[in-house]
Structure formats: C-alpha cells, structure tokens
C-alpha cells in the first residue's frame, strides 16, 4: 500500500527487526532493495538483542544481529525468493509467503527477498538480462557476503520469478558447476511467446488468445517481444549440466492467469533432458511415479541417474474462491495464481529440500 514504507517491515505485520532491509549491488552498478526475514524460532532466541538494536538500515545490514544469525550459524539455510511481475517485496500475499517459508523449520530457514531493478526501491530499468543479473547478484551476495554455501541455498520463484530462478540456477551450474539444494518453481510458464497465447490478466482479460485462430497475426505480435524468457530451454540445460538437480514444479489447477499445463510442459522438458536419446510422453508415463492426492491434487516424481530428482505437484485449489465472479477476489488476486505461495505445499517442499543437509549436520 502507498502509505506503508518498505523500510519499516513492521508495518506489514512482522516483529520488530524480524525483517531487516538491505542493499545488494549488481555487477553493472544497480542497487537492489531486499529484505532478510529471520525465522521465528531464531528470532525468539535472539529477541532481546533484536528488539534493542538501533540505527540498522539497508546500508549497514551486515552489522546487525539478524545478519549474524544467518551468517554465523552453520545450520542456517537460506531461501532466495524471486517474486512475480508487479509490485514490490511487500505486494499482496508475498509477506504471508515469507512468514510461511520462514516457519517451515522455524529455527533455521531464513528468507532473502529481492526487488528487481526498476521495482520498488531498486534502481534501474527492468529487462530479461537485467533481472537475471539481479538474481545472480543476490546469490553471489548470499555466498560471498553471508558465507552461505550453495548446498544451504534454495531458489524459490513464483510467476515471472520462476523464469528468473530457472535462469539463475542454469547460469551457475553451466558456468561454475555450482548446484543449489533445490529449485522451486511456483506457477511457472514455459516461455513468454507461448504464455501470451493463453495468458489472461487476473484470469479475465486475455492478451493474444483471441488471435488463436489467426496464427500469422499471433506470430506478428509475438515478434515484437523483446524478452522471451525461454524457461523450457533453460530448465533442459540445467538438468543436462547438473549432477544432482533437485527441481520442483508446483501449480494450482484453478490458476486462470497461467495454466497448469505450462508446468506440465516444463516437467516433460526437464525429464526429457535426463535422457541422451529423448523420451516420448508415452515412455515417460510408463516410468514416472504418480501419487493421487484426491482433493489435494496429484504428485509426480521423475528420478534419473541416481541423483537427479524432478517433481511436479498440481494442487486442485490455489485460492480461487470463485474469483471470476467475485470482484473483490479479482482485486486481491484470488485466482489460484498468487495466494498458493502461502500454502503448506510450498513450505513443505522447502523443508524437504533441506532435510538431508540437516540430517548430515546432526550426525556429524
């Protein structure tokens, strides 16, 4: 909301100094505004110090107790969150999503949420390469400044953020062989040209789908796209170059902005990339593991090469509540596309990602 300040996270319902703003400088000189969210049990353990802390701002965050709780604890895990295509780190359901994620294992899972260039209080102008650079900068900050190794980092993206998260993960595994604990893509899309053929704003206002009977016109308008966000190709490259990819796709069936069929296509692209000769859909269907969750939807798993794991969860309900016919639901984004980020299926997935690491630490 316009009367709330991103530099005062308590206005969004957080405890005093539970969320602390920080700045991250990109290689091309932009300054990104970000939030660090301290997990609730860690906050309680340090509450006395956090409440008393004064004069901590985005420019000196590394001097804070919150930063120490992240960087000096060998059991700390970090979710780097990439949000959707509008607003700020505090928009809509995003603050509830951070609360959910940081409560999954409330003593160890921290959240770093960034605003891309041109969003919120960050400098610059958005572009595909620019947003990818921002994501890379956030990861480098986590590894180089906070000293969190990649095996204690999970990338989580929603909507546009899934394209950023996939591109960042692909960059690190291809360029430097760095692999993260997991990558979670919520309400993903395969690529921008394909998305525009089906996308409807708030599930109501179509973009190019009325031109579906006229493929030449579709190709004409798609040709003006500057940013293509080819997540399908990037996911395939991520899987091929990875030794132990841990990729999770989550989508709601009542998402009327981005169809769950996009996650279906991405699951196929990822699984297909585990084979050197290619797989047909029929071959995939015969090998993949599927669990019917009834009202909870379905869960599918693809395991390959002993270390590569790809999952797809399609939940039946992501927060629609008859949004197509309810104007209030329309205004707050109750279309199954945004509120799903606050649901237990996301926090559960993140906690499972970090469980093997925590088990190893407990043993040794």
DSSP line for 113-146:
EEPPTTSTT--S---HHHHHHHHHHHHHHHHHTS
Report the C-alpha gap between 77 and 152 in whole angstroms.
5
Higher pLDDT, 123 or 217: 123
Tell me how crowded residue 150 is: count the other CB atoms within 10 A of its CB.
19
Q: Is 212 helix (H, G, I), strand (E, B) or coil?
A: coil
Tell me how crowded residue 224 is: count the other CB atoms within 10 A of its CB.
6
Q: In this predicted structure, what is the pLDDT of residue 362?
A: 60
Torsion angles phi and psi, residue 347, rounded to 5: -60, -40
Report the C-alpha gap between 134 and 359 in whole angstroms.
32
* pLDDT band per the 50, 70, 90 thresholds, residue 221: very low
Rounded to an integer, the average pLDDT of 167-185 is 98
The pTM for the full model equals 0.90
Q: How many CA atoms lie within 13 A of 40 on its CB side?
A: 10
Q: In this predicted structure, what is the pLDDT of residue 327?
A: 52
Pairing between strand 31-37 and 19-25?
antiparallel
Rounded to an integer, the average pLDDT of 281-287 is 86
Share of the chain above pLDDT 90, in %: 70
Residue 83 clears pLDDT 50, i.e. is over it: yes
Q: In this predicted structure, what is the pLDDT of residue 107?
A: 81
Rounded to an integer, the average pLDDT of 38-45 is 94
* pLDDT band per the 50, 70, 90 thresholds, residue 281: confident
Torsion angles phi and psi, residue 345, rounded to 5: -60, -30
Residue 209 clears pLDDT 50, i.e. is over it: no
pLDDT in tens, 140-171: 999 999 999 999 999 999 999 999 999 999 99
pLDDT, mean over the chain: 87
Q: In this predicted structure, what is the pLDDT of residue 2?
A: 54
- Neighbouring-strand partners of residue 300: 290, 312
Q: In this predicted structure, what is the pLDDT of residue 328?
A: 54
Rounded to an integer, the average pLDDT of 64-73 is 95
- Neighbouring-strand partners of residue 308: 304
Q: In this predicted structure, what is the pLDDT of residue 273?
A: 96
Share of the chain above pLDDT 70, in %: 84
DSSP string, 228-291: ---HHHHHHHHHHH-SS-EEEEEEETT-SSS-THHHHHHHHHHHHTT-SS---HHHHHHHSEEE
Higher pLDDT, 194 or 21: 21
Report the C-alpha gap between 328 and 324 in whole angstroms.
10
* pLDDT band per the 50, 70, 90 thresholds, residue 214: very low
End-to-end CA distance of the chain: 47
21 within 8 A of 61, measured Cβ to Cβ: yes
* pLDDT band per the 50, 70, 90 thresholds, residue 219: low
In the chain, what is the greatest distance between 2 CA atoms, to the nearest angstrom? 65
**How much of the chain is in helix, strand and coil states, percent to nearest 5?**
45, 20, 40
Q: In this predicted structure, what is the pLDDT of residue 194?
A: 84
């Amino acid at each position: 909301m316009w009367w709330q300040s991103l530099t005062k996270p308590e206005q969004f319902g957080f405890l005093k100094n539970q969320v602390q703003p920080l700045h991250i400088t990109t290689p091309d000189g932009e300054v990104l505004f970000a939030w660090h969210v301290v997990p609730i049990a860690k906050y309680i353990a340090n509450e006395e110090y956090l409440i008393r802390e004064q004069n901590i701002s985005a420019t000196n965050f590394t001097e804070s107790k919150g930063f120490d709780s992240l960087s000096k604890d060998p059991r700390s895990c970090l979710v780097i969150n990439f949000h959707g295509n509008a607003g700020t780190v505090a928009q809509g359901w995003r603050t509830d999503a951070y609360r959910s994620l940081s409560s999954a294992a409330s003593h160890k899972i921290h959240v770093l949420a960034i605003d891309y260039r041109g969003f919120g209080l960050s400098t610059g102008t958005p572009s595909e390469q620019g947003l990818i650079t921002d994501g890379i900068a956030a990861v480098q900050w986590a590894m180089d400044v906070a000293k969190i190794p990649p095996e204690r980092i999970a990338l989580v993206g929603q909507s546009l953020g899934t394209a950023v998260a996939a591109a960042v993960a692909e960059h690190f595994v291809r360029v430097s062989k760095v692999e993260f604990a997991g990558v979670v893509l919520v309400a993903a899309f395969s690529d921008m040209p394909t998305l525009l053929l089906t996308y409807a704003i708030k599930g109501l206002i179509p973009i190019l789908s009325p031109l579906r009977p006229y493929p030449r016109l579709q190709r004409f308008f798609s040709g003006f796209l500057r940013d293509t966000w080819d997540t399908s190709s990037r996911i395939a490259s991520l899987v091929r170059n990875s030794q132990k990819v841990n990729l999770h796709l989550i989508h709601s069936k009542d998402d009327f902005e981005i169809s769950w069929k996009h996650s279906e296509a991405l699951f196929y692209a990822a699984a297909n990339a585990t084979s050197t000769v290619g797989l047909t859909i029929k071959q995939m269907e015969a090998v993949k593991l599927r669990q019917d969750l009834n009202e909870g939807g379905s869960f599918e798993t693809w395991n390959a090469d002993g270390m590569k794991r790809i999952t797809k969860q399609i939940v039946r309900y992501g927060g629609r509540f008859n949004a197509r016919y309810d104007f209030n639901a329309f205004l707050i984004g109750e279309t199954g596309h945004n509120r799903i980020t606050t649901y237990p299926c996301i926090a559960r997935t993140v906690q499972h990602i970090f469980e093997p690491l925590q088990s190893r630490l407990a043993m040794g």
